[in-house]
Amino acid sequence: MSEVTDLVVIEKSNAMAVFTTKEQLDPLLEQIEKEARSLVPDLTTKKGRDAIASMAHKVARSKTYIDNAGKDLVAELKALPKQIDESRRIVRERLDALKDEVRRPLTEWEAEQERIAAEKAAEEERLRIEAEEKAALEALKKQVEADHEMALLLNDKFDREAAEKKAEAERQRVAHEEELKRQAAEQAKREAEEKAERERADAARREAELKLKAEQAERDRVAAEQKAEADKKAALEQAEREKQEAIAAEQRKAQEEADRIKREAEQKEAARLAEEKRIADELAARQADVNHRKTVGTAIVNALTAHTSLTREQAIEVLSVMKDDLIPRVEINY
């Protein structure tokens, strides 16, 4: 194994399962615990003490390795929504542009057809007004001619019936008839002009209405485009807000999960350190007791050799008998 993974290895492809399922994480920790606890502590030799320190260091490295693997996984998960949203933005912008590009010839054709239709309607209305004015003038001309013929016929009748009247009376009659013709012609002319003026006014009104309709249609088209643009902008803003809210929610969720994992790890680390301290304290107490007993035993052996004729080996044998409580009324005061 490498220096970092002396006790455990987490494959990148399996990291998600390790940190999200208890069935994956527990065996990993149990493997570390099993190997760490398999060490039999020996404080009497430097090699034994080094082995204890080395195992504790391996456990600490394993903790850092697992924690870093989890931190890398959280970073990857935080970056994933941004990558997805960027892909969505690219799809929307490119396909919106493609839609406008594909429909542009049809949009331009529809606008051109509307313009042609408006021009055609205006031209037809102008021709109709000209035709009606021409017909009115023709009718007026025929009416004047008919009135003139009627006046001539009346003049002939009056001439036959008033042949004996005085010349002055004839002139007055002719003048009166000429005045009537003039008045009739003026009346017919006024009526024709009034009719033509009404028709011109109607035509102008209809033309103005068509122009207003065309202008309203253009305004409606512009308003529809503006509304579509505003709706598109509002939809983009709403999508952006939803995206930011989703990112914030994911970030909060990831942070909460990271905090929970951190708390659990800290609790486990505190428990592990407390257990290590308890074991170390027990070992230290036992070693201190052993050292104290050795000191007391050495003092007894030295006293026996100093005040008796016993050799050191004999003094050690006496000490062993005393420790085993084989000499009545004699005990060692530690």
For the stretch 53-62, contacts whose Cβ atoms lie closer than 8 Å and that sit 24 or more positions apart, written own/partner, are 56/276, 58/6, 58/7, 59/7, 59/32, 59/272, 61/3, 61/4, 61/6, 61/7, 62/5, 62/6, 62/7, 62/8, 62/32
The pLDDT value given to residue 156: 59
Distance CA 199, CA 321 (A): 148
The pLDDT value given to residue 162: 57
What is the arithmetic mean of pLDDT over 185-210? 79
In the predicted model, is pLDDT for residue 255 greater than 70? yes
What is the arithmetic mean of pLDDT over 73-94? 81
Instruction: Give the up-direction half-sphere exposure of residue 84: CA atoms within 13 A in the CB hemisphere.
Output: 10
First to last CA, the chain: 49
Angle formed at CA 255 by CA 250 and CA 257, multiple of 5 degrees: 95
What is the arithmetic mean of pLDDT over 281-288? 89
In the predicted model, is pLDDT for residue 100 greater than 70? yes
Distance CA 331, CA 334 (A): 9
Angle formed at CA 65 by CA 61 and CA 68, multiple of 5 degrees: 135
